[in-house]
Amino acid sequence: MGVHPTAAHGFHGDVYERGRPGYPADVIGPLGITSDTAVCDVGCGTGKFTRLAADTGARVVGVEPLTDMVGVFTRALPDVPVVVGIAEALPLRERSFDVVVCASVFHWLNHDLALPEFHRVLRPGGRLGIVWNRRDKLTGWSADFWRITEAHRGDTPGYRSSAWSDALEASDLFGPIEEQWFDHVQRTDVEGLIARVASISFIETLPPAARDAVLQESRDFLATHPDTRDQTVFELPYRTAVYTVSRVD
């Protein structure tokens, strides 16, 4: 039990913070987060989702296994408590949260161990929310851009696999999956897009020469593609998916 090796070595706080988008405010509604809600943000990273939840006035606690990510989190959100830990053995009291959220992290987990932990720390009637900024099924320049990185994915876990939904559907700890989708855009510059590529775990864990080649290919793409070569500010589209399940008591 522990952090997936690619995740353990493929994420670095400063690059993640610079390159990754946040989440649209619309995701808060399906998760049922209000100022009266106790939220556990599992795999909180640098606090991309945590900020959105904290802005509602909810009581939020982050859980993150990578100390480098925790360092960026605490600088960005000094008033939000964060503990070092893993989803499969949460260092939290039972029945202490109304909502557990996994934002861009659920595919990394050992679901057989994590789901009972989520059930344990949720109060009766609590909800588990799974959020991803999905970039599959895109068209135009963004689809071409992501083909550069996808060529290196290999067997790295991701939301495209059905493993995460199969685990939820097979569990008797949670009810049926509900889903909602929202349009989202990341507005950034060239260096932000290069940081976005660098923040991908399976790119970061490539041999240094291969990693540098991917970053240069991405930079060359932006400089030469007819839809991007004259831009200084880019709008990178996503479709943000929110999946929710209720705790079975």
- pLDDT band of residue 58 (cuts 50, 70, 90) is very high
Is 218 contained in some domain?
no
The pTM (predicted TM-score) of the whole model is 0.94
Is 224 contained in some domain?
no
Instruction: Average the pLDDT over 117-144 and give the result.
Output: 95
pLDDT digit string, tens, across residues 150-194:
999 999 998 888 899 999 999 999 999 999 999 999 999 999 999
More confident residue, 95 or 159: 95
Report the SS3 class of residue 108: helix
Is 27 contained in some domain?
yes
**Which domain does 124 fall in, by range?**
5-137+159-187+237-246
Contact between 10 and 205 under an 8 Å Cβ cutoff? The reply is: yes
As a three-state string, the secondary structure of 20-76 is CCCCCHHHHHHHCCCCCCEEEEECCCCCHHHHHHHCCCCEEEEEECCHHHHHHHHHH
pLDDT of residue 212: 98
| Mean pLDDT score of the chain | 96
pLDDT of residue 1: 63
pLDDT of residue 56: 98
Domain count, the chain: 1
- CATH of residue 164's domain is 3.40.50.150
Is 154 contained in some domain?
no
